[in-house]
Each structure stands twice: as C-alpha cells, then as structure tokens.
Structure 1
Amino acid sequence: MSEDSSPGSRPPAVRRGKGKSRDEFRAQVQVTRADFERQVQARKAQLDATNERIAERTGRNLILAIVIGLAVGAVVVLTLIFIKELFLPFGMVMAGFASFELAQAFRVTGRRVPRVPTVIAAVSIVPATFFFHAGGQLVSLSAGILLVIVWRFVDEIVSRSQRRGAGALGRDLLWGVFVQLYVTLLASFVILLLAEPGGEWWVLAFLILVVSVDTGAYVSGLSWGKHPMAPTISPKKTWEGFAGAAAAAIIAGILLSVFMIGEPWWFGVVFGVVVLLTATAGDLAESLVKRDLGIKDMSSWLPGHGGFLDRLDSILPSAAATYVLFLIFR
C-alpha cells in the first residue's frame, strides 16, 4: 500500500471540504443562537412592558405578587390539610408582623403606639385562642390591651423630656387599643374557627373565597374598570371590578360549600355574598387608614403585595363573619 492511500491521509480537496462544512455549521449555530437570544430579549421586553402597564394601573408587581402568593398559599394549604396545629406558627407570624406594621405606621405619623407590647399581644392570642377557645381569646385580648396601656403610661413617665400632655397621651392610648381590636381581635377569629372540629376546612374555604373575590375584582377591574367605586378612598377600585368580584364570590362560594364544607348550594350564595361585602369593606377600611396616615403601603416586606396587613385587610373581617356563619349553620 502506498503512502498516499494510507488511512491517515486524505486528499487536500477533501480536507478543505470538511473544514468548510465545519465552519458553515458553526456559523449556522451562531446565527441560530443569536436569533434565539434576540427572540428571548424581545419577549422579555414585551413582558416587562406589560408588567409595567399593569403595575401602573393596579399599583403592584404582578409577577412577584403571583410568586409570593403561591408560596404563602402552599404553606396555608399544607398546614391546614395535614396538621392544623402547624398553622399556629404561621398565624403568629402573620399577626405579629401585621400588628407591628400598623403600630410602626402610627409612630411615623407621630402617634406613639408601643410596638413591643402590641406584637406580644398579637402573637399571644393565637395559642390562647386555639387551646382555650373563646375564653382564652377574651382573656388574652384583655391582657394585651392592658399591657399596651400600661406600657404607654410607663413610657410617658420615663420619657420626661418627650411628654406629650394628657390629650396626646389619650389619643396614643386610643390608637393602641385600635390596633388590638383591628388586627389582634379579628385575626383571632381565624384561630377560633380553626379550633372547631372540621374548622380547618372552613378556614381554607373562606381564605380561598377571599382570594377569589380579590382575583375577580383584579381581573375585571383591570379589563373593564372605568367607574370608580370610592375615588376618595381607593381610586383604583371600580364598580366593574366589584361586579367581577361578586360573580367570582358566588361561583366560588357554591363550589366550596358543596365540595369542601358539606353545605347546600344556597349556603354558598350566602357565604359568597357575605365574604364579598366583608372583604370589600376590609379593603376600603385599610385604604382609609393608609390615606389618613399618608402612606401607600403598610410596608415593603412582601414585594408585589406591600406589607402583611395589606394582604390581611380583606381576610380579617371575613374571618369574623365566617365564624358567625359557622355558629349559625353548624
């Protein structure tokens, strides 16, 4: 066999042809990759632009709101379905942060609501209500209010250089009690309902119903909202959004009543309408408080949502209303 015909040798033309093919393949890969990157960037730009328009109209980052909402929802569902006692630490965290946010917001505007006793009272009422029911709720609430009042009196006595006078002190005490009644008391109804036999399903049902009301209002208001519902309190809330929330509430109420809590379909209509009204009223009430304080959100701890209280505003009064329905119909 000659040297030219050995397996390791190829004619120059063949080698050039193979090299050219490899270069063309690499070039094609680079072109495809560049085209893919351009498409990804274009899609990202469209998504960012859409998200900015939604955020401008609704005041929230939709993507972050969905991610955080799904994470919180997963925790709620897992704890309620498997071991409802595991919901207690979650409830203590939510009540503690919400009460702290409201107390801090008052302090920023010059209303000296003590934060430490406020948080202690909000956290303590959760286990007290779960293990001792209505008696524990009442005792814990009373002790929390007393703790806030005494703490504020002691602070006034110790801080001689920052005394505010009897009138300002009285207003501080009223705001401190307001936090206990608004956040601590209403939040405890979730735990009071949870402690009942089968109560975990009622808690899950009314939470899903509140989310349905919020989602229905959000989608309907974003798509068709033109007529403001309460322009001086919440300019972005519209009657079209309220109509969407009503439809979502009734549909979800019927489904949850029949398939989750074992109640007749007509109870679902009542359930949906009641939660629709309480959730809307809670949202407007918190908006009124924030407008009075001159703030947009209670905090920025939950990106896309604002603060903990911004997410609990519809839940708090709905929890009390659902517990009343539970007592009446069960």
Structure 2
Amino acid sequence: MRERLEQYQVGLYLLAVGVGLWVGAYWGSLAEALMAGLWPLLGALLYATFTQVPLAGAWRRLARTRLLAAALLGHFLVIPLLLWGLAQLPLAPPVRLGILLVLLVPCTDWFLVFTHLGGGDTPAALALTPLCLLLQLLLLPLYLWWFLDQAALAGLLRRELLGAFVGLILLPLVAAWLTERWARQGSSERRPWRQRLVAGLGWLPVPLLALVLFLVAAGQVGVVSDHLGLLFGLVPLFAGFLGVALGLAWLLGRAFRLPAAQGRVLAFGFGSRNSFVVLPLALALPAGFEAAVSVVVIQSLVELLGMLLFLRWVPRLFPIP
C-alpha cells in the first residue's frame, strides 16, 4: 500500500498544487492564514523523512566519496558563475536582486525529501546539508557584493538562514535521532512495537509534502497575480535553470564517476533553491522592491512543478542497476 502511494505521488502533488491555486485565488484571506503553518509543517515533514534515514556514520560515508567535491563545485562555483553572467543582462534592479537571491543559495530543507522520494543517497544528502548552509553564510556576502554591491542585505539573509537551519534542520534532526535511539532501547517486548511505530512514520512524507505544496500554492498565487507581466520572462528563465541544473548534475556525475544514487543527490540539489528562506527576506525589502517578492514566488512555483517532473526524470537519467 505504501509503495502504491509513492507510485502515484506525482499525481497527488499536482492535485494539491491545483487545489492550492484555486483556494488562493478565491479565498485569499484563508490562504494567508494557512501560510502560518508552513514552517511547522516543513519541520514535521523533515522529521518524518529523517526517521527513515540511517543517521549514524553519514559524515564518514560522505568524506570517503567524490560526491562532496562534485556538489561543492556545482553549488558554489559553476552555478554562481552562470548567475554572474545572468546578472549582466539589462534587468530591472528589483528583478535582478530577486533572481540572484533565490538562485544563489541551494536548498537545505525539502531537497532532502525529494532526494529520499527519488531514490537518492539520502544519508549523503543529509551529511551535505550543514556544510552547504555554512558555505552559504560565508559566501553570500561575497556573491552579493560582487554582483550587486549589497553587503548589508547579505547580513539580513544570514540571519534568515540561521533561523531556517535551527528550525527546519537541526530540531527535526535531533528529534529523529532521539526517536531512533528510543526505538532501539527498552525491553525486548517494547522494541518491536517501537520499531513498527518508527517504520509507520515512513507513510508521512508523501501526504505531508502534498500539504506543503498546497500551502505554498495557496499562499503565493496572490503575489504572482500582482506582477503577471513578469511571468512571461521568468517562467522560461527558471524552467531553463532547472534544465541546466539537471544537465550539470549529469555532467558532474559522469566526470566524478558517481554511483547513480549520488548522481540523484546532485540533480535534486542543483535544481532546488532556498526559496522558503529568502521569501521572508524579500518581503522585508524596502518600498520599490516589491517585484523581488514576485520573482521569488514565481521561482518557487516553477521549482515546485519542476521537482515533480524530476521525480520522473531523475531516476531515468540516473538508473540504479
């Protein structure tokens, strides 16, 4: 039954997005109220995902693989260089800022969920996450100064990233580790049902992700409607970025001779960006930068649909024998 649920997960996600867009279009106030539950729901989603991942020894396994070098090269050298070229285009400053904000920082939350659902090496992806976040904190001031001379903005983004790391990564990770220990301890009579309970949490990632997608679609459709003119230019741009990310993952996977499961980590990692983290930052920008909010929102919706397609394409591009 659980395998059947995962088999039809893409259809479930598309249904959640469609219902969310409908709710956001006709009941905007309800959608805004529901958005307050987005981060707690993301935390629950990541907790349920982490309980299904063997946490012990993840860092040791990562250190012995070529995945670390491939991921860091793609995230922090190749993709920023591509975005530097994009920043040279004649774009309005709020649009350019929004594009760079949302594409410069790799995702550190739901990319883990998609990697897990897409059959990637989730323990290795989990081990990568703290390092990717640390490098974001260190390199973002440099990137923004280099591209836009926005060093003050980088300080605000750093606080958002730290808050996201504690709330969306650290707390669910600690909770999952404690759950894992709890399931292994106790009397011989208690351990089996505890382990069954932990195994039962494996049912939760698919429905919880569907709820997250519903909230994102419902809460953001109103913002997009305020800047419909941006759609025609940004949707192809962000869709093209997903295509480039997939191609980059394939090239680096071949160049570093990565196993298919680790190639899938690269694909989901390069394709997903930290839109949930930079959206509050974009909302805090001064007057005149409202278009940056729409850019972030449009990217998150395009990425959302792109990740659903990735669940189909990535296993085919990186087949596991």
User: Would the TM-score normalized by the shorter structure come out above 0.5?
Assistant: no
Larger radius of gyration: 1
The higher relative CO (CA closer than 8 Å, separation ≥ 6) is in: 2
TM-score of the pair, normalised by structure 2: 0.29
TM-score of the pair, normalised by structure 1: 0.28
